[in-house]
Amino acid sequence: VIKPGWGFSFDYQPGQYIGIGVEVEGRFHWRSYSLTSAPTSGRGEYSVTVKAMPEGLLSNHIVGTVEPGTIVRLQAPAGDFHLPSPTPDKLMFVTDGSGITPVMGMLRSMDRRSGDERFPDVVHVHSIRTRDDALFYDELLALERTQPGYTLHLRVTAEEGRINAEQMSALVPDWAERLRVLLR
């Protein structure tokens, strides 16, 4: 969770990313991370989810070393992959591993707004290598229980193999209709 200082804009679209600069051994290193918080949180904070990668200097540093209160540098939120406005009636998300992070920002935003407007018909196909790799799994299951419009299909590739086009069509028969909404 990042609480920006005075003068930083909190305006962003669910799904965008933010540039983060963290000092490591006297030098700032920059990476971009998807915003996993909903812009409607109202607390003046951003959240990102960082997965430590074996070869990742900054991801390992953030996960293993950075403590609350550490000062970081920020770039403004950016990116064209974001939730359309108005939100379409039908959506389909296909995510894999940590690639779920921008979609989590979108799902959280739709969940928070659902009191004012209906949660859309969302089919989410998420692929992970092993069950231990499942970021946000409990939250996704809770969302499926509380939002009748949300359907999760989890694919554990170590157990079931990679999903193919025929299997995808069986899971989401109207995928072409859902895809056209996002490509407009």
C-alpha to C-alpha distance for 144 and 111, rounded to whole angstroms: 11
Q: Which residues contact 151 (CB under 8 A, 6 or more apart)?
A: 122, 123, 124, 144
Q: Report the SS3 class of residue 77.
A: coil
Q: How many CA atoms, within 13 angstroms, populate the side-chain half-sphere of residue 1?
A: 8
Q: What is the mean pLDDT of the chain?
A: 88
pTM for the predicted model, two decimal places: 0.87
Residue where the block lists tokens 């030098």:
27
What are the two backbone dihedrals, phi and then psi, of residue 92, each rounded to the nearest 5 degrees?
Answer: -135, 130
Q: Report the SS3 class of residue 154.
A: strand
Distance, C-alpha 71 to centroid of its chain: 24
The pLDDT of residue 123 is: 95
**Strand-by-strand arrangement of the 17-24 sheet:** 27-34, 17-24, 73-74
Give burial (CB, 10 Å; 0-12/13-18/19+) of 150.
buried
Q: Which two tokens stand for residue 95?
A: 């995510």
Over residues 130-143, the mean pLDDT reads 92
pLDDT in tens, 64-109: 999 999 989 999 899 998 888 888 889 999 999 989 999 999 999 9
- Number of residues that make up the chain: 184
pLDDT in tens, 23-47: 998 999 999 999 998 886 566 788 9
pLDDT above 70 (res 170): yes
